[in-house]
Amino acid sequence: METWKFAIASIRSHKMRSFLTMLGIIIGVAAVVLIMAFGDGMNKAFTRSLASSQQNVQINYSPLKSKDGSGIVTSQEVFEAESDLASGGQPPAPVVSENQVADLLNIQGVTKYLVSNSANATVTFESKNVTGASITGVSDSYFKAQNYQIIAGRSFVAADYEQFARVVVLDKTLANKLFNNPEDALNQLIKIQGNNYRIMGVFDYDKNDSTAQYQYPNGQLLMANTQLAAEFSVPEIQTIIVSVDDVDRSLEIGAAAARRLTQLVRPAQGEYQVMDFSDQLANIQQTLGVMQLVIGSIAGISLLVGGIGVMNIMLVSVTERTREIGLRKALGATRRNILTQFLVESVVLTLIGGFIGLMISYGVVFLIGDSLNAAFGGPPVISMQSVIGSTLFSISIGVIFGLLPANKASKLNPIEALRYE
């Protein structure tokens, strides 16, 4: 305990010098921890996105059949198929009815479905314009399948579909861009491609879905898929998604649904398929791992420089305190006592530096975490492994770079040390 008190007293007696010595450790630990946090955040965002895609499986039409006839394709196979079709032109997708999609509920494991179509357009209210707003045409099953929350007004009703009513529901982002708040948007008329549409409701995304709200940076607008098809000359059904009750069997259930839809629609060529994202996720994780390793290694250089600074200042400290060391030895201090004292001083320096660096990391994440969440699709995450690792690494730096000065101090001859000027 006395050794630790001596170490802290020595550091406090040279505050500025101690802080400058710790600066390399502070910067190095903060940089490494932040890089790991950014990487972990992005990795978890991609993994969460994949888990969501496993829960809600999208079924796509392709003019080319899967290699084994299972209805499952990888991203590489999709890329190759698109390359093959680029020269000859892609035939139009077959027309699908909602009754055919609803039949997929008879497949064991399929719990619900949704169908939609889409377009992009400029949305105008008085003098305000939002360019590139995403318009999604939805059927009455859409809100049952999506975890969207109506925060003002109402959703669509049967009469909206039957009468081809020009009514829409906005997301919170688009409502805030055009109006002061969601409530002010209700019953207002907006203009899309020269036609007026009345706003019947405003919705927000599921708070647990961190990717949906960033998928539509200019906002999303919902209208009846039949109305969108009539106004924008697109098919009533462009996107088909089925929800499964077991994510571990999502590919199996999704492929069964795709094969069933192929049997019902009977396309002239090709089939309906689901995509296996596992190879894509593996590539993303590998790329993120390499990036973390490279950037982390560069940041680690500052830790090395910081360690050299610690060793340098401890050598200076040994020289300055030569008479003190001689006196302690003359009073009975052993070589081990002196060695331990200077090692502890070195460890305390790096440990304090590591702690400050860790606190800076937490501060950065707290201040700009939301912005990074928007940029990368996932907030930075400082894991317990990073905290423990940075602490142990700081101690290791103190021991490794403090060993030489401590060893030099412990070997001083007490008589020569007492004569040192």
At residue 128, does pLDDT exceed 80?
yes
Looking at the structure, do residues 212 and 300 belong to the same domain, yes or no? no
pLDDT category of residue 211 using cuts at 50, 70 and 90: low
Question: Mind listing the pLDDT tens digit for each residue in 7-28?
Answer: 677 667 777 777 777 787 888 7
Percent of the chain with pLDDT over 90: 6
77 in any annotated domain: no
Mean predicted confidence (pLDDT) in 205-216: 64
Looking at the structure, do residues 218 and 317 belong to the same domain, yes or no? no
> Which parts of 91-221 fold into alpha helices (H)?
98-102, 142-145, 158-162, 172-178, 182-185, 212-215
Percent of the chain with pLDDT over 70: 77
Looking at the structure, do residues 186 and 312 belong to the same domain, yes or no? no
220 in any annotated domain: yes
**Domain of 223, in residue numbers:** 108-244
58 in any annotated domain: no
pLDDT category of residue 168 using cuts at 50, 70 and 90: very high
Domain stops at, among 220, 244, 268 = 244
Looking at the structure, do residues 215 and 319 belong to the same domain, yes or no? no
Looking at the structure, do residues 237 and 306 belong to the same domain, yes or no? no
Looking at the structure, do residues 145 and 230 belong to the same domain, yes or no? yes
Looking at the structure, do residues 39 and 154 belong to the same domain, yes or no? no
Residue 186: CB atoms within 10 A of its CB come to: 17
25 in any annotated domain: yes
Number of structural domains the chain divides into: 2
Looking at the structure, do residues 235 and 317 belong to the same domain, yes or no? no
> Is residue 71 classed as helix, strand or coil in its secondary structure?
coil
65 in any annotated domain: no
At residue 324, does pLDDT exceed 60?
yes
pLDDT category of residue 241 using cuts at 50, 70 and 90: confident
* SS percent in the chain: helix, strand, coil, step 5: 60, 20, 20
Looking at the structure, do residues 6 and 131 belong to the same domain, yes or no? no
Looking at the structure, do residues 154 and 221 belong to the same domain, yes or no? yes
Domain stops at, among 214, 244, 274 = 244
Domain stops at, among 196, 227, 244 = 244
119 in any annotated domain: yes
pLDDT value of position 387: 78
More confident residue, 89 or 162: 162
Interatomic CA distance for residues 213 and 51, integer angstroms: 17
Measured CA angle at 209 (ends 203, 215), to 5 deg: 75
274 in any annotated domain: no
- Cβ–Cβ under 8 Å, residues 416 and 326: yes
Task: Name the average pLDDT for the chain.
Answer: 78
Nearest to 319 by CA among 412, 245, 240: 412
Looking at the structure, do residues 173 and 232 belong to the same domain, yes or no? yes
pTM score above 0.75: no
61 in any annotated domain: no
> Is residue 327 classed as helix, strand or coil in its secondary structure?
helix
What DSSP line would sit under 40-54, residue for residue?
HHHHHHHHHHHHHHH
Out of 51-55, 223-227, 237-241, least confident range: 51-55
Looking at the structure, do residues 114 and 219 belong to the same domain, yes or no? yes
